[in-house]
Amino acid sequence: MSETEQNKHPEKESATSRRSLLNKLWILLGIVALAELIGLVFAFFKPRMKRISKAERDAIIVAGPLDSFLPDTVTAFVRGKFYLARLADGGFLALSRSCTHLGCTVPWVAKENKFICPCHSSEFDITGEVISPPAPRALDIYQITIENNIVRVNTSKRKKRSEFTSGQITYPKNT
């Protein structure tokens, strides 16, 4: 609306601008309500994610005494869904059993000394390193603590890694 028209009908102009302000307020309120609704939905789904990680936080699995694991062997833990690999030099790695390609469960083939995925035949060595694709990265690992010669694995946090490095190995303290 131009200046002159505004001067001609001052009360009409103020009425329309008040109305448009109210309309804008309504839209603003609507957006706020929508945002609240979206926030509510997200909040609703959050505890479920948390509950799982909390349940798994307690899931520190006692793997067993040190000397029950011979060097260069792999032991499967069904409940924790991981493999405890003891390398030839005595170090430990806790490997996730999910293939990094599409999530199939990878069995340890002791005869060939490697993990072979049945789904798409990815192969991993004892450190979880990829020997044969299509798997794009090494098997995920879990944190290991060794106290009083007892090996414990914390299955709450699965750590992704692109490849195997010696820093990922946990060694018993006295060696």
Partner 1 sequence: MNFIERVRLSIFPGSGKPADEQKGSRKYFRSLLLHFRPRVVPKRTLRFNLTWGLGGMAAVLVLLLFSTGLLLKFAYEPFPGRAYDSILHLQHNIPFGQLIRNIHHWSANILLVIVFLHFLRVFFTGAFTKPRQFNWIIGLALFAGVILSNFTGYLLPWDQLAFWAITISSSMLEYIPGVGARLHDLVLGGPDLGPSTISNFYAIHTAILPVLLLLILPFHFWRIRKANGLVIPRSPVEDSDTRGKKVDTIPNLITREVTVALVLFAVVLIISMLVDAPLAVKANPGLSPNPTKAPWYFMGFQEMLMHFHPVFSLFIMPLLLTLGLLVIPYLNYQADTAGIWFCSRKGRQMAIIAVVTAIAVTVAGVLIDEFMIGSKQAGPNMISSGLVPFAIVLTGFIGFYLFMKKKFEATNNEAIQTLFILLVTGFVVLTIIGIWFRGTGMRLMM
H or E element that contains 85: strand 82-86
Q: Give the interface segment with partner 1, choosing from 27-35, 104-112, 141-149, 165-173 (CB under 8 A).
A: 104-112
Binding mask 12-51 for partner 1 (x = CB under 8 A): ---------------------------------x--xx--
Q: Does 103 bind partner 1 (CB under 8 A)?
A: yes
Toward partner 1, which CB reaches closer, 27 or 131?
131
**Rounded distance, CA 163 to CA 130, Å?**
8
Binding mask 48-77 for partner 1 (x = CB under 8 A): xx--x-------------------------
**Rounded distance, CA 95 to CA 128, Å?**
7
**Rounded distance, CA 109 to CA 81, Å?**
17
Which amino acid belongs to residue 81?
K
Determine contact, residues 75/92, Cβ cutoff 8 Å.
no
Least separation in angstroms between residue 74's CB and partner 1 is 15
Q: Which of 63, 93, 95, 97 binds partner 1 (CB under 8 A)?
A: 97
Residues 134-173 that bind partner 1 (CB under 8 A): 134-137, 158
Least separation in angstroms between residue 55's CB and partner 1 is 10
Q: Tell me phi and psi for residue 74, to 5 degrees.
A: -125, 130
Q: Which of 152, 151, 155, 139 is nearest to 95 (CA)?
A: 139
Q: Does 113 bind partner 1 (CB under 8 A)?
A: no
> Computed from CA positions of residues 105, 110, 114, 116, in that sequence, does the dihedral angle turn out positive or negative?
negative
User: Contact positions toward partner 1, by CB under 8 A?
Assistant: 45, 48-49, 52, 78, 81, 97-98, 101-106, 117-122, 130, 132-137, 158
